[in-house]
Amino acid sequence: MIQKIDTERIPIKLWLNKLEPGALQQAKDLANLSIAFKHIAIMPDAHQGYGMPIGGVLATENAIIPNAVGVDIGCGMCSLRTNLKHIEQDDLKKVMGLIRQTIPVGFKHHKEKQAESWMPPLDKNLHVVSQEYESAMYQVGTLGGGNHFIEIQKGTDGYIWIMVHSGSRNIGYTVAEYYHRKAVEETKKRKKNIPPKDLSYFDQGTKGYEDYFKEMNYCIAFALQSRKLMMERVKDAFSEVIQDVAFSNFINKPHNFAAWENHFDKDVIVHRKGATRANEGEWGMIPGSQGTSSFLVKGKGNPLSFNSCSHGAGRTMSRNEARRSLNLKAEVEKLKELGVLHALRHKRDLDEAPGSYKDIQEVMALQEDLVDIQVELTPMAVIKA
């Protein structure tokens, strides 16, 4: 932990030296919630979000806040190790071409429904999920936009790795929006301890609480299945180009979710919004940007962070600011010098340029008490929307 703020109802513990004013106010809003437990933990990649900072960890007593999970429920990453220690540049380009043919990116969906076996089993009692299920069959195994990516990386262990970052697509967004509106209605009825609108919540035992928890968990399962399907398509691309390639060491970690956990001898609901669970010995992933290292880590189970760590480097500027202020030629030149097959083509892509992110090495240094680095991964090729 780097610093602590003691001016609110409960403390705020931060793993960074400076938090932008908007994100700091959001952290204070969390700390003043009547349902917030023990303290608020802010990870080193934190920046302003909706209601709660991205990179925030909040434990609550007997209540759940949809906006403290966010609109991309179950968003997370998975990694896979190949048995390859080298790949020729021409072969890598062929692999990337095949991936682009089988995995839609951005707003694109599959033209055909994917096999229903890739969908989590449907409970017809899930109101929003049932409505979105058919559409989701076209979206499972698609990447989406923003900071989602497919990346081929070279590890300090000598092996080539694959990493996928994606979420729950429209099904997760629709569930999040629907239950946030419901939570706002429920919160207004209480007429006391009213939090900011973006932190509206359901009390345990209410229908909204039960329904949201079930639909949230479905979206978490959907996001995992979607990543698994994309990973299968990436494996197929490798296998088509390279003989005798094999895969192992699959790791999956969501970073937008809420779950019952025991901390400080109490059962609480831990909300992680852009934060990764890091129990002692638990594997996780912390990516940088398409021009910087990513890391495979093992958690240290630090109770002060509610056994959490960062989910990435974190933004140093907004998307619009990046498009306005960064130089496309300079950002492309950086990637060219590194030899990365990158996804930076137009000025509109600058929101995902390396210059729009914090220094991942500094972020890792700030959380030495949260994780142990196992493998450092250098980007070789990246697909983004």
Question: In the numeric block, which tokens belong to residue 87?
Answer: 């790949």
Contact 100, 343 (CB under 8 A): no
Per the annotation, the verdict on 271 as an active-site residue is: no
pTM of the complete model: 0.95
CA distance linking residue 139 with residue 113, whole number of Å: 8
Mean pLDDT confidence for 189-199:
90
Mean pLDDT confidence for 185-189:
93
Q: Give the domains, in start order, of the chain with CATH numbers.
A: 3-316+357-383 (3.90.1860.10)
Q: DSSP code of 40?
A: E
More confident residue, 264 or 334: 264
Among candidate residues 39, 148, 255, 311, the one labeled active-site is 311
> CA neighbours within 13 Å on the CB side: how many for 289?
27
CA distance linking residue 19 with residue 52, whole number of Å: 13
pLDDT at 283 over 90: yes
pLDDT at 204 over 80: yes
CA distance linking residue 336 with residue 334, whole number of Å: 5
Least confident of 2-16, 137-151, 184-198, 230-244: 184-198
Q: First vs last Cα of the chain: how many Å apart? A: 35
CA distance linking residue 357 with residue 45, whole number of Å: 9
